[in-house]
Amino acid sequence: MPQARLHMSRDLLSVEPTLPLTEVAQRMVAKDVGAVLVTEGKELVGILTERDVLRAVARGIDPSTTVADWMTRDPETLESDESTEHAAVLMIHGGFRHLPVTESGDIVGMLSIRDLMRVVLEDTVPRGA
């Protein structure tokens, strides 16, 4: 299986945990992303996904609701040289669809379940016609 670095997204959206949830949701829509990295300085402290935002909306958001109130703290990560197969196993067993990718502790990308589907389809779609 190919390495995660070959299929991850490098165009990342990072936010601070103290930002209002509504502001970050607007940034997610503007950038068309399903998850954001939550950082303090260079340290990854959480991840916020579309699902998290939806849960917050379902329970009612007031103006003081922050990213920290709804993010998943200390998310699973994957080293960029690990396989996409390993990423899929982590996602399936962990019940999540976005996985931050690191190199030597630094965040370098994000791998989504959609990225993994592209890997599978690349091997099954006929070449040429």
Report the distance separating Cα 15 and Cα 24, nearest Å: 7
Q: How far is the first Cα of the chain from the last one, in angstroms, to the nearest whole number?
A: 26
CATH number 3.40.50.460 is the correct assignment for the domain at 4-124: no
The pLDDT value given to residue 7:
92
Per-residue pLDDT of 15-28, as tens digits, reads 999 999 999 999 99
Beta-carbon contacts of residue 77 (< 8 Å; ≥ 6 apart): 44, 99, 100, 101, 102, 107
Per-residue pLDDT of 39-49, as tens digits, reads 999 999 999 99
Whole-prediction pTM: 0.88
Tokens 């949830």 found at: 21
Residue spans per domain, the chain: 4-124
Q: Give the number of other CB atoms < 10 A from CB of residue 27.
A: 14
Which secondary structure element, helix H or strand E, spans residue 78, and what is its range?
A: strand 78-79
Kindly indicate the confidence band of residue 90, based on its pLDDT and cuts at 50, 70 and 90.
very high
**Nearest 10 degrees: CA dihedral of 115, 120, 122, 125?**
-130
Tokens 């992303």 found at: 33
Report the distance separating Cα 79 and Cα 54, nearest Å: 29
